[in-house]
Structure 1
Amino acid sequence: MWAPKQAGEEGGYDKDEFVLAPQQAGDGNLDDDALDDSLIVEPEWEPPVEEREDHGSMDDPVTAEDLADEADQEHQHRAHNNIQARAQGQCGCTVVPYPDPCAGQRIANQANCHAANVEYEAHFVDVEKENLYHPFSSKMDWEVVRWAKLCGLSLTAFSDLLAIDGVSECLALSFKNANELNSIIDHELPTSRPKFKREQIIVAGEAFDVYYHNVIECVRSLYSDPDFAQYLAFAPERHYADEDETICLFHDMHTRKWWWGTQKKLDQHCPGGTIIPIIILSDKTQVTLFRNKSVYPVYLTIGNIPKEIRCKLSCGAHILLAYLPSTRLEHITNKASHRRTMANLYHACLSRVLAPLKSVGLDGLHMASGDGTLRRCHLLFASFIGDYPEQLLATGIKFGECLKCDIDADEMGSNTAPEVLDALATLDEGNLSFVHACLAVGIKPIVHPFWEDLPFANIFRAITPDILHQLYQGLVKHLLGWLSAACGAAEIDAHCRRLPLNHHICLFSKGITGLSRISGTEHAQICRFLLSIVIGIRLPNNLNGSRLLRAVQGLLDFLYLAQYPCHSSETLQLLIDYTERLHIDYAKDAYCATNHKDEFEKILHHKKYVNWRLTGDHCSEPYHLRPPDMTFRRLQTMTKHPSAKAVSIDKLVEDYGATYFREALARYIVQLNHANDPITLSGQALDVLALDIKWLSVDARRHGDATVTLDSVHARPQRNSGSQSPLARRSDTALVGLGPDTNDVVSAGTEGFRVGQVRAIFALPSKSIPLLFPPTIWVPNHLAYIEWFTPFPPAPDRHHGLYKLSRSLHGGEKVASVVPVANIVRSVHLIPDFGAVVPREWTSDTVLDDCHTFWLNLYLDRYTFCIFK
C-alpha cells in the first residue's frame, strides 16, 4: 500500500519542527503515485482487509479422525470461552454462599481478643511511642538491620563493615558489631513463630530423631498474620460463570467441593465452625554440601489464604513444619523389609507431628485472625503436595498405579478409602492377615499411616497433581525424545537456533536435543515452541506428518490446560506444583542457619509491625474474595524520557528499518485531523524511544509484589558495539487492536486484531504538535511504526491448530502504519514456516525479514493459549 521513498527526495525541513501544509500535485517530497496511494484518507481503517485463503498445511483428505478432532476442539473452545468471559467480567461470577450462615461466623464475646499487631506492640509497653522502630534507635538503625539480615550478608562481612573506623558513628547505630546486633534480636524482639523441638521415634528397634514445630502453633502463626487478615476465607462458596448456575468455577480452596462437603459433615458434629484446611508439602532434599546429608523437610500452609499469596514465597505463607529423618537403614539387607521399614518410619514421624490435629479437628479451638476476630476453628488435613515418589510414600500405593482413582493397573474394581481403612484395621488380627488385607486393596502394609485417624481425611482425594515430574519431566521428556528420533536431532536444533526473539522465549543456541538433566523451567520453555518447530519437517520415508502434529498438539493442550489458575466444570482440575522452589528458601537455609533464635523470622515479623505503625492501618475492612483472574489488571508502561532526541527521519529509517515511516506518519496526521487533503511534512527531527513497552500486573488485592512484568515488546535500532559487526536491530511482533477497546480480546476475537512488527516507538516534538493539530485534537503521547502481517484466517490449521500469517504486501511493498502505543495489546511470537530443511543462512535476528510465512505461536504463555484456543 505504501510506495517506497523516491531516490534523492529532499525537502525544506527545519531541524526542530514539523510544518503542515496543503499538498499540491507534483510538489513536495512525494510523487503523484505516492500521494494517490498513501495520503488520501479512506473511509475504512487501513490497511485494507485482503482476501483470505484456506491455509492448510497438508493435502490429505478430511477423515473421520479429523471430524472427531474438530468436535473435541469445538468443545475445548467453548470451555476456553467460558473461562475467558468470566476472566474479562463479561458474564460476571455468580457467588452462592454456604446455606448455613453460622459457618465461619465470628464469636460474639471477644472482649479479650486483640489484633496480632496490637498484641505484638504490647511487648513494648514501656517504650516511648514516638520511636516506631524500637528496639532500634532510629529509622537508619532499623534499615541497616533489615538490610543485613534479609539480604544474605554473612556475619563476618557485616562485622568487617562495622569495624571500619567511623562507620557505626556516622550511621548512629546502636550496635558496633554483629554480636551486639544479634543480642538485640535475641532478647528484645518477640519470637514470632514456634520453636523446633526434638523427639525420638522407635521403628524396628531403632531410634530416630525428628525435629518439628507444634502444628497448632504453626497454623495459628499463619492464621493470625495481619498481612493475610483481609484475604482469609472462612466459609465455602460456589462460584458459577453464568447466572443460570450451570458452569461451576474452581480456583481457591473455598470454592472446591471438598470444603463444601466437609463443612456439611462438620456441621452434623459441631455446627458453626470455621474450617482451616491444612496443606502439607513434603519432598526429600539434600541440605548440606558434603557427607551426603539429606532429610525430609515438611512444609505447612493453610487453604484459607488465597493461592495467589500461597504461591508467592516472598509473602511468607509457608512454614517449615518438620524435618523427618532420612536414613539408609543399611543394616536391613532384605529389600522388602527395607522398603517397609522406610515407609513405616516416614508415617510414624509424620503421625507424631500431626497428632494434635486429631482432637482439634473435631472439637475445634478458639483462634483469632490477624484483625483480632475470634472464631471456633477446626484444623482439618486437606491436601498433600509432593512429587510422585512422595505421593506413593504418603498413600502406600504401589509404583505404577494411580493414586487418585479406584482402577488397578491391570483391571477394574480396586481400592476405595473405606476399604483401605478396613484393611488397616486388621493389624490386630496378625501380621499375615494384615499383609493380605492391604494387598487386596492395593496398598502396602503400613502400620498406622499418618492420615489414618485424622478427622474427615481422605488421602486419595488429598493428593494433588505433580506437574513438574509427571508432565514436564515425564510426558514432555519422552515427547522430546520421540520427536528427535522421528524428525532428526540436527534439524530440530537448527530450527531452535533460528527462532525470533520474544519476551517469553529462551533461545537455545546449541539446540534442545543434546540437553541433559533438563530442569522444569527448561521443559516449560521448550513447550512454548515445540509444536511450531516440527511443522513441515521431513519424516522418515516421507511419511505424512499430520498424525504427529495432532499428537503433539493434544499433549501440549493437556499440559497448558492442566495449569489453568481457574478451572470450570468443563476443564480439568489440576494444580501447579511448586514444592521444588521451597527447598532453597525454607529447608536448606533453615538447616544451615547457625542462630537458633530464628532471627530471620523475627526481622520479618518486626518489619510487618513497623509497616503497620507507619501506615496507621490499625483496622481492616471485611474483604470478599474474588476469582483469581479478576485480581490483576495489566498496566502498560513506557520509558519516561526518550532515549534519543532530534533523530532525523532518514536515520530512523536506516537504523530501525522503518522504510515507509514518512508516508505512514503523514497518513496518521491526516486521519487524526479528520482531513481529506493530503499533506507534506516539512521537518524531520523527533524523539525516539528506543527501548520497550512493558505490561505490568497491578495487584489490586495487595497480595505481595506491587508489580510484576508480564510481557514486553522491544523496538531497538542497529547499534555499533565497538567490534567488527554492529549489534542487530530488534523489532518484536505484537498484537495490535483495530478498535477503541483494544484490551477486550475476548469479545473482539481475531477479527478485531492484527499482528504487526513494531519497528520504532516515538513521540512527536512538543513544539510541533500545535502546528500539526488544532487544540481540540487529543494527540497520543507515544506512537509506534508498525509493519503489518495478513489478517487472521477464518480458522486455524486443522492439523495442529495454529494460524498461518504472512507479510501484508501491496504492490510488492510492505504495508505500514503509525498507531498509538496504547493499541498494542501484548507481544506475540511468530514461528517461521521452516519447511523440510531450514535455510542455514537464516538467523534469529533476521528470520522475520528472511521468511515469508509464519505460524502464530499459541503456546507462548498461558494467556496467549487462552486467547486463541
Structure 2
Amino acid sequence: MDATHGSTNIWAPFRSGLEWKLALWAKTRGPSSTALSELLEIDDIPRRLDLSFKNAKELNTIIDKHLPKRPKFQLRKVTIGNETFELYMRDIIPCIRSLFGDPELSKHLFLAPERHYSDANRTMRIYCEMNTGKWWWSAQAAVEASLPGATIIPLIFSSDKTQLTVFGNKTAYPVYVTIGNIPKDIRSKPSRRAQILVAYLPTSKLDTITSKAARRRTLANLFHECVHQIVAPLETAGVAGVAMARGDGVWHRCHPLYATFVGDYPEQVLVASTISGDCPKCTVPHAALGDSTDYPLRDLASVLDVFELEDGHPTVFHAACKGARLKPTFHPFWEGLPFTNIYLSITPDILHQMFQGVVKHLVTWLIETFGEAEIDARCRCMPPNHNARLFTKGISSLTRVTGTEHKDMCRILLALVVDLPLPNGASSKVVRAVRALLDFVYLAQYPAHTPTTLDQLDAALQSFHDNKDVFIDLGVRSDFNLPKIHAMRHYRPSIELFGTTDNYNTEQTERLHIDFAKVAYRAGNRRDHVPQMTSWLERREAVRDHASFINWRLAGHPSPSTFSATPPPLHMHMKLTAHPSATASFDSLTNDYGAVDFANCLADFVILHNFPDLSRAARTAKANELRIPLRKVPVYHVLKFHNYDALQRHDASDTLDAIHVRPKTSDSRGRPVPARFDTALLDASNRDPLGVEGKRIIQVRVIFTIPDHAIAQLFSPSRPPPLTHLAYVEYFTPFTSPNIDDKTYHITRSIRNGRRVAAIVPAGEIRRSVQLYPRFGTAVPRHWTSSNVLDECTYFRVSPFLDKHTYMTVY
C-alpha cells in the first residue's frame, strides 16, 4: 500500500510528507496566518500540491481536532478586592504527566535519589544532578514514612515578568515548570521541550489604587492567589501520590513536590513574602548583609503562625508581619504545600545575582578607583580570542549592559587592574578582592561539585570579605550591605541540597521568554494578545510533538540518546575546511606568517619522527643534512575543534573553540585587516585534562599539511606522520608557581640564541585556545593595540577566566 495513504500513512492526519513539511514550516518557521493564507491563494497551490487545507484557518482546524496536545489553557477569573483579573493557566498535574511520560525522555529520567562519590572510600561526595542533592533524600524519606514505594517528582518553578514590545507597555508574566527527574543538560535546551509554560499571570499595574503601599500589597496578593490556583492540586497529590506512566509504559506512584523556585531578586522577595532589601531566605539583619557571618534560615512554622493571624484583626496582623519583616500577604501560595519549605526552595541566581549584580557593582568600583581612561586603554589592548569579546571602545561608556556583556568583562577584568598603582599598598588588596570574586563566580558555575570544590568556593568568598574593605578605604563604598552580596553565602547549602547551580539557572527562563512570550506575541495581531498567544503555543507544541513522533516512526526506533555510554577520549575533534585557505611559499611563511624557522623546524620534525631514539646531537646533524623536497605548503587560517568537558563527564556538552592563524589582508572594501596569530594550550603528554602539568603555552603561526608527494619522500612507509595537519608554533616559558596576589601563571617568550623557540607539532596536540593578559605596567604604552600587543609586550599572565573549561584547566 502507498505509504502516504491508508493505515500506513505515517504523516496522518496530513495526506503526505509534503503537506506535513509545509504545516511544520508554517507553525514553527513560517510567517503569520494571513501571510500563509495569501501564499496558498497563489495559482491554486492547494490543488497543485494536493493539500487538505486551503488557508491557515483550515490548517489550524486539522491541528486542533486531530493532533494530541499538551494540556489546554483555561481562563480563570481571580478577584482581589473589588477588581477581577484574567488568569490563563493549565492544569498542573497533566503538565507534569506530559513531561514524565514523554517517550523521548523516558530513558533519561531519574527515579530515585543517588549518592555519587569521587573516591573508593566514599568520602568525597559529588553533587551534580538534582537527585544527587540532600533534599531529594529527605523528601523520599518523608514521603515513604507513610507510603513506601514513592517516586518523587521535584518541581522547578520559575517566573519573571517580561517586556513584549520595544516601545509601549505590553508585558507578559509567564510561569514555567519542569521536573528535576529530567537531566539538567536536557532541561537547559529549549529544543528538547522539557519546560512547560503553565500560566500567564495578570499584568495589571492597578493604577486605580492611588496609594503605592496599597498597590504593592494588592499586587503581591494577586500573585499569590494566582499561583495558589496553579499549585493547589499539589496539596493532595504530593501526599497521596498520582499514578503516572513513563514514556516506556512503566507506571509509578508519583508525588509531585514543590522543590525549587528560580527567579531574580524581586521575584524571590515576592515569592517569600519578605521585605525588599532583606534576604528572602535567612534572618540576617539588613545592616549585616555585607558581613561574613552565617545566619539561620527563616523558621517556616513561625512564619505560618504570623500569616494565620490574617483572619483576625487587621492591625494585629499587620503589626505581626512588620515585626517579622514580612509583607502582609493573605494566604501565600505555599502555605499548604506538603514537604515544602519556601525558604529552602529559593535557589541561587547566577545571572542576576552574580553577573547583573555583584560583577556589575565590581566593575563600577574599579572604574571609580582607577579612572575611565586607563581601564578603557587596557580594554583596547587585549589580544583577540575566539571566545573573548574585544571592547574596542572600553567598558566605561557602556549603558544597559547585559548579562552576556558582564560575562565578557569577567574574562578580562583581572587584567584591567592587576598592574595599576594605588597608594599605601592598596593595589594588592584590590587585586585579591577582584580575583576572589571572579573565583567565586567561576566556581559557582561548576557542573559538578565535591567537598573540595565547595571548600574552594567558601575560601574564595572569605578572601573577598578579607579584602573588600579596601574599597571603603579608597572612598568607593561606605558599606557592602547588598542582598546580592549576602546571597553568596547561600550557594554552598543550595548546591548540597539541590545539586549544582545549572539545575536552577535564570538564564534558562530568559531564553524561554523568547519562544513562549515574545515570538508568541508577534505571531498574533497584538489585540487581546494573551488568548492568541495561548492558542498559538498550543498548536506549535502539538506540531512539534507530532514531529518527534514522525521522526520516531521514520527511524524505526526512538531517537538516539544525547548521552554517550562511555566518557569521551581526551583528544579533541578537529575541524578544518575541505580545502586549504591558501598555498604559501617558504618565503611567504617567513615574511607574512612570521614562521622564520619553518624549514629548519620541518627538518627537525621529520628526523625526530623517523629516528626517535637518536641523541639530540645526532638528530641535529641529520636534520642539517636533510633535503626538503618542497618550497610551499597548503595552509589553513582557522582550526576549529570541540573542547570536551574538563571534568570528563560522559553526559556533558562540548564547547566550540577555534584558533585563528592568518596574515594581514584587506576586506571587501579595501580596508586593512591586521594579522592574527592566536595563542593556545599545547599538550603532547595527553595527561589529566585538569592542571598544567605537561602543558605549554604556544602561539600558532602556521597550520599546514605536507603534500602527498613530499610525505612519500620524507617519511618511511612503516612510520607515517602522526597526523595530516601540522602546526608551526612558538613557545612561551614553562608554567611555574602562580603569583601570590593574582594567582595567575606568569610567562614570557622562550628565547634561544636570540631567536624565539619554535617547533612543528601535530595540530591534534593543541588542546584549546588561551588568552594572555599583557603585563601593562603602570600605564599602557600608547602604541600598543589589540593586533600587535603579543609582539610588543614581553611578559604575560595566563588568563584563567576565558571560559569555564579554561578555569577548570589552569585554576
Q: TM-score, normalised by structure 1?
A: 0.80
Q: Would you say 1:384 and 2:280 are equivalent positions?
A: no
Partner in structure 1 of residue 399 of structure 2:
516
Partner in structure 2 of residue 187 of structure 1:
65
Partner in structure 2 of residue 394 of structure 1:
271
Partner in structure 2 of residue 80 of structure 1:
none
Superposition deviation, residue 139 in structure 1: 2.6
Residue 264 of structure 2 aligns with an amino acid whose one-letter code is D
Partner in structure 1 of residue 518 of structure 2:
588
Partner in structure 1 of residue 597 of structure 2:
660
Partner in structure 2 of residue 153 of structure 1:
31
Paired residue secondary structure (2:709) = coil
- Note the 1:349-748 alignment, pairs <5 A: 349-410=226-287, 415-539=298-422, 541=423, 544-570=426-452, 571=454, 572=492, 573=495, 575=501, 576-578=505-507, 579-594=509-524, 596=535, 598-617=538-557, 635-644=572-581, 646-674=583-611, 676=619, 677-678=622-623, 679-695=626-642, 709-721=655-667, 726-739=672-685, 741=686, 744-746=688-690
Residue 656 of structure 1 aligns with an amino acid whose one-letter code is Y
Question: Are the counterparts in 2 of residues 371 and 620 from structure 1 also a CA contact under 8 Å?
Answer: no
CA distances 1:364-407 after superposition (whole Å, capped 9, x unpaired): 11111111111111111111111000000000111222222333
Question: Are the counterparts in 1 of residues 281 and 297 from structure 2 also a CA contact under 8 Å?
Answer: no
Paired residue secondary structure (1:585) = helix
Give the number of the structure whose alpha-carbon radius of gyration is greater.
Answer: 1
| Aligned-partner Cα distance in 1 for 2:559–2:378 | 57
| Aligned-partner Cα distance in 2 for 1:254–1:625 | 20
Residue 589 of structure 1 aligns with an amino acid whose one-letter code is V
Superposition deviation, residue 189 in structure 1: 2.2
Partner in structure 1 of residue 475 of structure 2:
none
| Aligned-partner Cα distance in 2 for 1:438–1:305 | 38
| Aligned-partner Cα distance in 2 for 1:615–1:697 | 28
Partner in structure 2 of residue 847 of structure 1:
789
Superposition deviation, residue 723 in structure 1: 5.2
| Aligned-partner Cα distance in 2 for 1:703–1:751 | 26
Task: Name the structure with the higher helix share.
Answer: 2
Partner in structure 1 of residue 11 of structure 2:
133
CA distances 1:474-503 after superposition (whole Å, capped 9, x unpaired): 211121111111111111111111111111
Q: 1:770 aligns with which of 705, 712, 715?
A: 712
| Aligned-partner Cα distance in 2 for 1:833–1:702 | 38
Superposition deviation, residue 413 in structure 1: 7.0
Q: 1:817 aligns with which of 759, 768, 788?
A: 759
Question: Are the counterparts in 2 of residues 476 and 523 from structure 1 also a CA contact under 8 Å?
Answer: yes
Could you say if the C-alpha distance between residues 834 and 620 of structure 1 is closer, same or farther in structure 2, counting changes exceeding 3 Å?
A: closer
| Aligned-partner Cα distance in 2 for 1:505–1:213 | 42
- Note the 1:752-831 alignment, pairs <5 A: 752-779=694-721, 780-793=723-736, 795-831=737-773
Could you say if the C-alpha distance between residues 175 and 661 of structure 1 is closer, same or farther in structure 2, counting changes exceeding 3 Å?
A: farther
CA distances 1:399-444 after superposition (whole Å, capped 9, x unpaired): 2222223333357678311211222223334323333333343322
Partner in structure 2 of residue 231 of structure 1:
108
Superposition deviation, residue 289 in structure 1: 5.3
| Aligned-partner Cα distance in 2 for 1:625–1:372 | 24
Partner in structure 1 of residue 798 of structure 2:
856
| Aligned-partner Cα distance in 1 for 2:351–2:777 | 32
Question: Are the counterparts in 2 of residues 414 and 442 from structure 1 also a CA contact under 8 Å?
Answer: no
Question: Are the counterparts in 1 of residues 264 and 349 from structure 2 also a CA contact under 8 Å?
Answer: yes
Paired residue secondary structure (1:217) = helix
CA distances 1:207-251 after superposition (whole Å, capped 9, x unpaired): 111110111111111111111111111111111221222222111
| Aligned-partner Cα distance in 2 for 1:645–1:389 | 55
| Aligned-partner Cα distance in 2 for 1:752–1:291 | 58
| Aligned-partner Cα distance in 2 for 1:321–1:731 | 50
| Aligned-partner Cα distance in 1 for 2:576–2:522 | 42
| Aligned-partner Cα distance in 2 for 1:733–1:634 | 18
Q: Quote the RMSD (CA, aligned, Å).
A: 2.8
Question: Are the counterparts in 1 of residues 663 and 676 from structure 2 also a CA contact under 8 Å?
Answer: yes
Paired residue secondary structure (2:673) = coil
Residue 840 of structure 1 aligns with an amino acid whose one-letter code is R
Residue 680 of structure 1 aligns with an amino acid whose one-letter code is R
| Aligned-partner Cα distance in 2 for 1:568–1:297 | 35
| Aligned-partner Cα distance in 2 for 1:161–1:655 | 54
Aligned length: 733
Could you say if the C-alpha distance between residues 799 and 252 of structure 1 is closer, same or farther in structure 2, counting changes exceeding 3 Å?
A: same
Question: Are the counterparts in 1 of residues 32 and 523 from structure 2 also a CA contact under 8 Å?
Answer: no
Q: TM-score, normalised by structure 2?
A: 0.85
CA distances 1:819-860 after superposition (whole Å, capped 9, x unpaired): 001110111100111111111211111111111111101111
Could you say if the C-alpha distance between residues 534 and 735 of structure 1 is closer, same or farther in structure 2, counting changes exceeding 3 Å?
A: same
| Aligned-partner Cα distance in 2 for 1:834–1:456 | 56
Partner in structure 1 of residue 459 of structure 2:
none
| Aligned-partner Cα distance in 2 for 1:131–1:238 | 47
Q: Which has the higher contact order (CA 8 A, sep 6+)?
A: 1
| Aligned-partner Cα distance in 1 for 2:257–2:212 | 35
Question: Are the counterparts in 2 of residues 414 and 441 from structure 1 also a CA contact under 8 Å?
Answer: no
Paired residue secondary structure (2:115) = strand
Residue 392 of structure 2 aligns with an amino acid whose one-letter code is S
Q: 2:20 aligns with which of 122, 126, 142?
A: 142
Could you say if the C-alpha distance between residues 174 and 773 of structure 1 is closer, same or farther in structure 2, counting changes exceeding 3 Å?
A: farther
CA distances 1:44-89 after superposition (whole Å, capped 9, x unpaired): xxxxxxxxxxxxxxxxxxxxxxxxxxxxxxxxxxxxxxxxxxxxxx
Question: Are the counterparts in 2 of residues 634 and 698 from structure 1 also a CA contact under 8 Å?
Answer: no
Could you say if the C-alpha distance between residues 178 and 208 of structure 1 is closer, same or farther in structure 2, counting changes exceeding 3 Å?
A: closer
| Aligned-partner Cα distance in 2 for 1:500–1:484 | 21
Stretch of structure 1 that moved more, 418-427 or 721-730: 721-730
Q: 2:188 aligns with which of 311, 314, 318?
A: 311
CA distances 1:723-743 after superposition (whole Å, capped 9, x unpaired): 55532222111000132x25x
| Aligned-partner Cα distance in 1 for 2:39–2:187 | 36
Residue 429 of structure 2 aligns with an amino acid whose one-letter code is R
Paired residue secondary structure (1:509) = coil
Q: 1:301 aligns with which of 166, 178, 201?
A: 178
Q: Would you say 1:835 and 2:810 are equivalent positions?
A: no
Superposition deviation, residue 283 in structure 1: 0.7
Residue 691 of structure 1 aligns with an amino acid whose one-letter code is V
Which residues of structure 1 form unaligned runs of 5+? 1-124
Superposition deviation, residue 162 in structure 1: 4.0
Partner in structure 2 of residue 23 of structure 1:
none
Could you say if the C-alpha distance between residues 243 and 737 of structure 1 is closer, same or farther in structure 2, counting changes exceeding 3 Å?
A: same
Residue 745 of structure 1 aligns with an amino acid whose one-letter code is P
